[in-house]
Structure 1
Amino acid sequence: MSRFVQLHYLTVYPPSNPNRDDQGRPKSAVFGGQPRLRISSQSIKRAARISDVMQQALQGHMGARTQRIGEVIEQALKDAGAEGDAARDAAKQIADVFGKLDAEAEKKGHVRTRQLAFVSPQEQALATELAQKAIAGEPLPANAELKKMVLRTADGAADIAMFGRMLADDPDFNREAAVQVSHAITTHRALVEDDFYTAVDDLKTAAEDAGAGFVGDAGFGSGVYYLYACIDRDLLLENLEGDRDLAARAAEALAEALAVSTPSGKRNSFAHQTRAGFIRAERGAQQPRSLAGAFFQPVEGALMAGSVAALQQMAERMDQAYGPCAEANALMDVEQGIGSLAEIKAFVRGAVLDD
């Protein structure tokens, strides 16, 4: 039985800054006592969620993380012919289901929650339906009962099923993530570099000084990044109310999105349109394990080939030490001409569909 699907990616990023820290520089980490560049799990998951791959494959089954659910409901009521004040009052009552309302935003005429809420399509539809009933004069129950009528612990929102959600005021409706995604780190020693740049004023005359119109600096970095993701098939099915076909579509779309999507930071400046050069997909019932230990000692020399070799060697050593950590695996190696993304996707889909 294949409860877990594990995915290992090696991806070359050219000089770029896809995921910045609070100073605007590439995020970093120390691993094995050596500096590495890092791309956060949060940015990777968002890039996957908003990618064309997932949006198209899971159309109608994607939630929205937002503070603006009240505004969405209000607009839906107005579109249906409701008066402005009545629409706003109903929207406020329903939006409170997803979190406490933001008083400062309300002063500016906005119906927003103080925290972001991950809202499924089904929950949004139920919320709008109840708001329409309130407009029609039907009294709504107290907030606690209202929440039970709107919020769900499982439904058809594939991204919420995969990445989970937390509702601080209503933990009974939290969803545990069925997918774990690591921070991606370079397999080798890597430092942030500095780019000093200038901008020229096109309308500056020759009679003026020769200086630039603007000068600045920006950080960037490059390298081979290792990314690990693990899908708990049983939990994914539970979160999707047992819809096995949807779970398979979600897992397949995720496997592709992690291979082809990248965080968008500074993309126009660096054009880091990159794709994974190596993927190892695994399926089995054994407790999952990352292969990040392959890079505790930084790779040197031919970085991509060395990273692939280190990853494969670590997988073999794990099997020798613990017994087979996976029942089957599939590989894609661009440099060696082995496998394809289509084969990886089929492998992942099969792992979810098979009993």
Structure 2
Amino acid sequence: MSKRQYVDIHIIQTVPPANLNRDDQGNPKDAKFGGVRRARVSSQAWKRATRRAFDAKLPEADQSTRTKRIAGQLAERVVLRTGVEPESAQRIAGALLEPLGIKAGKKAGNTAYLLFFGYQQLDEIVGLIADQAKDLAELDDEQLKAATKDLAVAERLKTGHPIGVALFGRMVADIPSLNVDAATQVAHAISTHATEIESDYYTAVDDENEADESGAGMLGNIGFNAATLYRYATVGVHQLATNLGSVEAAIETVTRFAEAFALSMPTGHINSFAHRTRPSLVAVVVRDDQPVNLVSAFERPVRESDGIAAASAVRLAKEYVRSSRQWGDEPTHVAVSHAFEDDVLAEAFGANETFSELLSGLNDALTASWKTN
């Protein structure tokens, strides 16, 4: 595919006191950038939140999962579809997967690492033996191995990828033929300003205390911070079309991803902090040259006392204009949806749109672009 196209998604989002993504000490992750400590949410955390968000709107067959339990998942589907006993289904599942050469994990039935695949792919593997499952169940281990070794199991995992695998890719070190190049890159979200980790010392009172009893039934500490975050992701439409086998499917998936990425939220300690918010700004930029992360807008930390989010949005807009002029960028489509009133934003990204208008316009722009290719 000769045409190359990228959709950059830039987000400004304010989060109240929260612990979205913990480090090994249980505190919110952070990073030093521009000489100061910033709040940080790892790309892995937001990728998982995004994937779960768009999977929730898809039928199960189109959903994906990342697990060590592929053998168990496959065995469950063999039982449901063929009616063989669970023990026999486990033997069949093991025989189907053995030729792939996936290393076994420490726990029986598990693989040594997480494998990313779609439920439809599992169903298609079951379809290879559905009509003969009861006969296979009667075979001994060696006979079963011989009967299944030439089945096209690997081919089912190499094609028909769900959108999760098509977007985020799959890496299987033992079996390079199962690798899928990711169409999406997601940056670690960082605060546009300096932050400090604070500690919430909490107590829980025993509701059944006797009248003469006092004190807490439980004590604890949770680290937290509050931040206005810059979030960035980019999708290679050309790679996504290759992974899905269709430009039309790729365009629809870009829109789904943009919606899910903008509206999803990691759920670490969410019951303690109720930290779910909406973005203050979402900008999309369609480019035919290369992705461009605009985090340099915040290398000098924002120090505004009258609205960090608004100041961050202006910084982002100015950086986009400066970068575009400096390097002669000519994006094919730019749009923004935001909650501010500022002419700088309009000059950079165009008129403010509702989020649904932004998504619809993105879909239309991509469709028009690929029709003319």
Question: Does the TM-score normalized on the shorter chain lie above 0.5?
Answer: yes
CA distance in 1, matches of 2:125, 2:302: 53
Q: 1:2 to 1:281 in 2, by over 3 A?
A: farther
Query: Aligned-residue CA RMSD in angstroms?
Result: 2.1
Which residue matches 1:130? 128
Q: Is the 8 A contact 1:91 1:131 kept in 2?
A: no
Deviation sequence 1:9-50 (CA, Å, 0-9, x none): 000101111111111110100001110000110010110111
Tell me the CA shift for residue 298 of structure 1: 0.2
Q: Is the 8 A contact 1:180 1:230 kept in 2?
A: yes
Which residue matches 1:228? 232
- Structure 2 counterpart of 1:234, which letter? H
Which residue matches 2:163? 158
Answering whether residue 367 of structure 2 is matched by residue 353 of structure 1, we say: yes
Answering whether residue 334 of structure 2 is matched by residue 329 of structure 1, we say: yes
Tell me the CA shift for residue 351 of structure 1: 3.9
Tell me the CA shift for residue 162 of structure 1: 0.6
Q: 1:240 to 1:264 in 2, by over 3 A?
A: same
Answering whether residue 96 of structure 2 is matched by residue 94 of structure 1, we say: yes
Answering whether residue 186 of structure 2 is matched by residue 184 of structure 1, we say: no
TM-score by length of 2: 0.86
Q: 1:75 to 1:147 in 2, by over 3 A?
A: closer
CA distance in 1, matches of 2:113, 2:107: 12
Q: Is the 8 A contact 2:61 2:120 kept in 1?
A: no
Q: Is the 8 A contact 2:84 2:133 kept in 1?
A: no
CA distance in 2, matches of 1:18, 1:325: 36
5 Å matches for 1:1-355? Answer: 3-51=5-53, 53-57=54-58, 60-79=61-80, 80-96=82-98, 97=100, 99-102=102-105, 104-106=106-108, 111-132=109-130, 133=132, 135-137=134-136, 139-142=146-149, 146-152=152-158, 154-208=159-213, 210-242=214-246, 244-301=247-304, 302-336=307-341, 338-354=352-368, 355=370
Tell me the CA shift for residue 83 of structure 1: 3.0
Deviation sequence 1:220-274 (CA, Å, 0-9, x none): 11111001111111000000012x3321221111111111110010111111111
Q: 1:14 to 1:339 in 2, by over 3 A?
A: same
CA distance in 2, matches of 1:218, 1:98: 43
Q: Is the 8 A contact 1:330 1:343 kept in 2?
A: no
Q: 1:169 to 1:61 in 2, by over 3 A?
A: same
SS at match of 2:61: coil
Seq. identity, %: 32
Show structure 1 runs of 5+ residues with no match. none
CA distance in 1, matches of 2:244, 2:182: 12
Count of aligned pairs? 345
Q: 1:120 to 1:158 in 2, by over 3 A?
A: same
Tell me the CA shift for residue 58 of structure 1: 6.8
CA distance in 1, matches of 2:55, 2:157: 24
Tell me the CA shift for residue 317 of structure 1: 0.9
Tell me the CA shift for residue 131 of structure 1: 4.5
CA distance in 2, matches of 1:333, 1:272: 20
CA distance in 1, matches of 2:212, 2:48: 50
Which residue matches 2:345? none
Deviation sequence 1:182-214 (CA, Å, 0-9, x none): 110000001111111111111212323x32122
- Structure 2 counterpart of 1:129, which letter? G
Q: Is the 8 A contact 1:4 1:230 kept in 2?
A: yes
Q: 1:87 to 1:57 in 2, by over 3 A?
A: closer
Show structure 2 runs of 5+ residues with no match. 137-143, 343-351
SS at match of 1:169: coil
Q: Is the 8 A contact 1:318 1:325 kept in 2?
A: no
- Structure 2 counterpart of 1:342, which letter? S
Q: Is the 8 A contact 2:64 2:117 kept in 1?
A: yes
Deviation sequence 1:44-95 (CA, Å, 0-9, x none): 01101111x4431576322211111211222223332213432221111223
CA distance in 1, matches of 2:354, 2:59: 22
TM-score by length of 1: 0.91
Q: 1:175 to 1:169 in 2, by over 3 A?
A: same
Tell me the CA shift for residue 334 of structure 1: 1.2
Deviation sequence 1:141-199 (CA, Å, 0-9, x none): 537x75544331x4241111110011121112201110111110000001111111111
Q: Is the 8 A contact 1:30 1:36 kept in 2?
A: yes
